[in-house]
Structure 1
Amino acid sequence: MKLWKASGLEDQSASALCALVESYTVGSDWVLDLDLARWDVLASIAHATMLEKIGILSSTELANIQRELKEVLDQIQLGKFSISPQDEDCHTAIENYLTKKLGDAGKKIHSGRSRNDQVLVAIKLFSKDAAFSVTRAALALAQTLLDFAQKHPHPLPGYTHMQKAMPSSLPLWSASFAESLLDDCAILLDTVELADSSPLGSAASYGTSLPLDRRLTAELLGFARVQGNVMYCQNSRGKNEAGLLSALSMFMLDLSKLASDVIFFSQPELGYLRIPEEFCTGSSIMPQKKNPDVLELLRAKARVLAALHAQVLQTCMALPSGYHRDFQMTKEPLLKGFEIAQASVQIMNELVAALDVDVERCRQALTPEIFSTDIANKYVAEGMPFRDAYRKVKEEIPGLSREDLHRFLGVKTHDGAPDDPKLLQTTQARHLAVTNRLAQLENPFRAAMAALAN
């Protein structure tokens, strides 16, 4: 039975609601909500606890509801819980289950709430869980990149405009992505903190005449605070999703750049890096091919995630205040965005850990002209104005020899330079700080969820 349908119409669904309209409005929500069902159950346990406190439920009714909701939770974890198109969503399926099992007590669970704030709180709980998971995976990748830098302290050409530019190093290259990923983690955790407020009890944007204890449910659900203005609770839908997708896009931006670098550095003409065969595919016509399909697909998925972000923004743009069914279309992009980001970070971590380096190809690629700026700086250190030094070296480039030019390696020791002795140490310290921040945010959330489930 649909929650919004009058009881007299329960057996008249064929005439009361055109099947075409039902299919169009429900869409894929009944499938997508399998990802949200666990979080709706936990929020319902918190809501029922609060209803007992304010006298809507008796202690016996609360105990029975908690028992049945935990049974639903077990079914979800075993993959046995189902949602039908007729249910529309997980909220209806769960309430119908409770009503079937408990009768009137099950019918009371919706007191003081709407499906509007139900889906809001379920999405927020899902998003916190997913964001913490992506952050942990990104921290693992950042550490793998730092380990790669530690293992391969070798020079490497640096490029601008896809042309050799100046001497670089493998540690500078890999640690740059580690540092960038740590920024991405900070952005995602900032976004989580901004949205770390409970919308439960806001109902359909206008509150309720029941004396709800919204602070209690916020505490039970591990939120940092109550999301105060009940209209803003609904108006923030889509805004929170867009913020999270924007943060996830930062990860994908970096991963796509890393993917392109690895493809470029591993092409046979350069051969600085070697991608293991298990990350490559072959050609149906060219026996010699080893194609970096994993990395190419990752670049494409980065663009898909950016499009999902734009989709959510456009869906919510210029909507009037209050709930509108348009918001339903923000759910799938969010779920898909987290799925793409999680999978992309994980597979990149596996690939980087398996990368091999051809040290000799790296050194041989440091051809004389790549030291031009270093030679100019040598003249500057001897007192020559830089512009004169620049022009002098420009004229000397054709006659430069590889002899003695490698003496310029290891001399860039200022903060953040290729030869900074504290380069990896500084990034490793930042890694620890972000790891600690993740724990500070995640541990209370995990404890709250465990307390509700047990």
Structure 2
Amino acid sequence: MKLWAGRFQKETDTLVNDFNSSITFDARLYKEDIEGSMAHAAMLGRQGIIEAREAEKIIDGLKAILADIEADNVEFSLDNEDIHMNIEALLTDRIGQTGKRLHTARSRNDQVALDFRLFVKREIPVIIGMALELEKVLVKKARANLETVMPGYTHLQRAQPTTFAHYMMAYANMIRRDITRLEDCTERMDECPLGAGALATSTYGVDRFQTAAALGFRKPTDNSMDSVSDRDFAIEFLSACSILMMHLSRFSEEIILWCSWEFKYVELDDAYSTGSSIMPQKKNPDVAELVRGKTGRVYGSLFSLLTVMKGLPLAYNKDMQEDKEPVFDAIDTVEMCLPVFTAMLDTLTVLPKNMRKAASGGFINATDCADYLVKKGLPFREAYMIVGRLVNMCIKTGETLDTLPLKDFRSVSGVFDADVYEALELKTCVNGRKVCGGPAKEAVERQIEAIRAFVEERG
């Protein structure tokens, strides 16, 4: 018999029973459910709502169930629908009538809200820890490539010279923001919904501050209706995960391009590449491609939950049973992608000569040429036009700005002198950009130190 069967005169149809059940996925919340139940039972005993010895008996029974589940000695039942009713049924089977007292002053609505919030709250530090490992690798790669000149791009066209270290720090800053978004999300979800009941708390003298503290929350939630109908903490979490995956996907796209023969800026380690079943020469960047592909999966989780929640009246609705699978899947996906991506990046080989060769083409020092003229007294727009004419001349003659004879420079503007070649040297162009955030060695070293300190602060 179901725990809620008193009002019903007929058994639930088998199809409805299977359709209604969530135990196949919410069994994952067993630990949080048992911890929440133990905190609730302890509070009931302390408040005199049930006898102290009954509370102790319930807690002992729950501890034994937890041990059996973790030893894989428990089989959950579809008839009991969800993890909450399965554990309550197991408890009652083991300790008898006392087990039926556990649900006093509690609803499955605040129970599931608690379990789900606890679960997400505990997974966030795991993801943050993985992201911090990626930051360490980015710092390592940057330190090793402070003078590795490469083209920077806009519109996927060579634009201005930069360094591989500067590139790594761009992604390091993105990942740093991802980490702080997850930290912010944790702070907002650090409120305990237990004691909210179905939607309007209870006539029993429960102590919500006591259970919140026992479960490691900063405080109880402020409004009981909000407590059981809120899933914005999960939506915010999925949003943070989606942004993180977007950054990994963009980085993956660059790596996919860079390891192609057309670029050949990096070489992937054999351990983080795959081959072709038909083409023996192939070395495929499957790790990066899968990270790029799985990003859409995490986006799907976010849009799924947003769609579930968009039309629901207060308070709890059964639609909200659809909240857990998207979050579980997103957690699994992010926690799968981060370590393998980090290892792939850590083991790839940078090819500085190829980067330097690419940087020599595409007139990426054209802006520096214009700046040279500005420093000689010309207005920038006039200098811009002069350099544009020089580039056009180079295209017709097959020269670059570095190789163009001085007489050709002077044929366009008498301001040019022999020192123009030093100004156009790529390392000069890079190291002249000492502005905060720039690619000059000393500027990137400051960026590296900032990321290193950020990581160190978080242990």
Q: Same fold (TM over 0.5)?
A: yes
- Quote the offset at 1:420 in angstroms: 4.9
- Quote the offset at 1:322 in angstroms: 1.0
Task: Give yes or no for the alignment of 1:261 onto 2:282.
Answer: no
Could you say what secondary structure the match of 1:16 adopts?
coil
Aligned to 2:349: 356
Cα deviation code 1:103-133 (max 9, x no counterpart): 1211111111111111100011100111111
Task: Give yes or no for the alignment of 1:432 onto 2:426.
Answer: no
Could you say what secondary structure the match of 1:287 adopts?
coil
- Quote the offset at 1:433 in angstroms: 4.0
Match of 1:19 among 14, 24, 27: 14
Task: Give yes or no for the alignment of 1:416 onto 2:437.
Answer: yes
- Quote the offset at 1:143 in angstroms: 1.3
Match of 1:161 among 138, 155, 160: 155
Could you say what secondary structure the match of 1:193 adopts?
helix
Q: Which amino acid aligns with 1:418?
A: P
- Quote the offset at 1:430 in angstroms: 4.6
Aligned to 1:189: 183
**Contact 2:110–2:194, Cα closer than 8 Å, also in 1:** yes
Cα distance between partner residues in 1 of 2:309 and 2:326: 13
Match of 2:374 among 377, 380, 390: 380
**Contact 2:135–2:455, Cα closer than 8 Å, also in 1:** no
Cα deviation code 1:358-405 (max 9, x no counterpart): 111111111251111111111111211111111111111214344543
Match of 2:288 among 277, 295, 311: 295
Q: Which amino acid aligns with 2:432?
A: V
Cα distance between partner residues in 2 of 1:203 and 1:285: 61
Deviates more, 1:395-404 or 1:261-270: 395-404
Could you say what secondary structure the match of 2:80 adopts?
coil
Aligned to 2:172: 178
Aligned to 1:391: 385
Could you say what secondary structure the match of 1:336 adopts?
helix
Aligned to 2:95: 102
Cα deviation code 1:27-51 (max 9, x no counterpart): xx21212221111111111111101
Match of 1:211 among 190, 205, 208: 205
Cα deviation code 1:309-365 (max 9, x no counterpart): 011011011211111100001111111111111111111111111111111111111
5+ residue gaps, structure 2 = 404-420
Aligned to 1:445: none
Task: Give yes or no for the alignment of 1:313 onto 2:306.
Answer: yes
- Quote the offset at 1:5 in angstroms: 1.7
Could you say what secondary structure the match of 1:222 adopts?
coil
Aligned to 1:451: none
Cα distance between partner residues in 2 of 1:286 and 1:428: 44
- Quote the offset at 1:294 in angstroms: 1.4
**Contact 1:414–1:420, Cα closer than 8 Å, also in 2:** no
Deviates more, 1:50-59 or 1:94-103: 50-59
TM alignment of 1:313-332, pairs within 5 A: 313-332=306-325
Could you say what secondary structure the match of 1:103 adopts?
helix
Aligned to 2:135: 142
- Quote the offset at 1:62 in angstroms: 2.2
Cα distance between partner residues in 2 of 1:359 and 1:51: 67
Q: Aligned residues: percent identity? A: 31
Cα distance between partner residues in 1 of 2:447 and 2:157: 29
TM alignment of 1:63-74, pairs within 5 A: 63-74=56-67
Cα distance between partner residues in 2 of 1:234 and 1:283: 51
Q: Which amino acid aligns with 1:174?
A: M
Cα distance between partner residues in 2 of 1:224 and 1:117: 17
Aligned to 2:217: 223
**Contact 2:163–2:430, Cα closer than 8 Å, also in 1:** no
Aligned to 1:87: 80
Q: Which amino acid aligns with 1:190?
A: D
Larger radius of gyration: 2
**Contact 1:280–1:291, Cα closer than 8 Å, also in 2:** yes
**Contact 1:256–1:302, Cα closer than 8 Å, also in 2:** yes
Cα distance between partner residues in 1 of 2:164 and 2:66: 48
Cα distance between partner residues in 2 of 1:355 and 1:35: 36
TM alignment of 1:2-13, pairs within 5 A: 2-6=2-6
Alpha carbons of structure 1 residues 136 and 382: separation in structure 2 relative to 1, 3 Å: same
Aligned to 1:449: none
Cα distance between partner residues in 2 of 1:384 and 1:79: 78
Cα distance between partner residues in 2 of 1:107 and 1:424: 63
**Contact 2:49–2:205, Cα closer than 8 Å, also in 1:** no
Could you say what secondary structure the match of 2:315 adopts?
coil
Cα distance between partner residues in 1 of 2:153 and 2:68: 54
* Number of residue pairs matched by the alignment: 430
Cα distance between partner residues in 2 of 1:230 and 1:140: 39
**Contact 1:146–1:424, Cα closer than 8 Å, also in 2:** no
Q: Which amino acid aligns with 1:262?
A: I
TM alignment of 1:50-65, pairs within 5 A: 50-65=43-58
Match of 2:271 among 253, 267, 278: 278
Cα distance between partner residues in 2 of 1:370 and 1:425: 25
- Kindly report the root-mean-square deviation, in angstroms, between the aligned alpha carbons of the 2 structures: 1.8
Cα deviation code 1:166-198 (max 9, x no counterpart): 101111111111111110111111111111100
TM-score after normalising by structure 1? 0.91
Cα deviation code 1:239-287 (max 9, x no counterpart): 2211110011111011001100111111112111111122222222222
Alpha carbons of structure 1 residues 331 and 320: separation in structure 2 relative to 1, 3 Å: same
Aligned to 2:116: 123
- Quote the offset at 1:7 in angstroms: 9.6
- Quote the offset at 1:59 in angstroms: 2.5
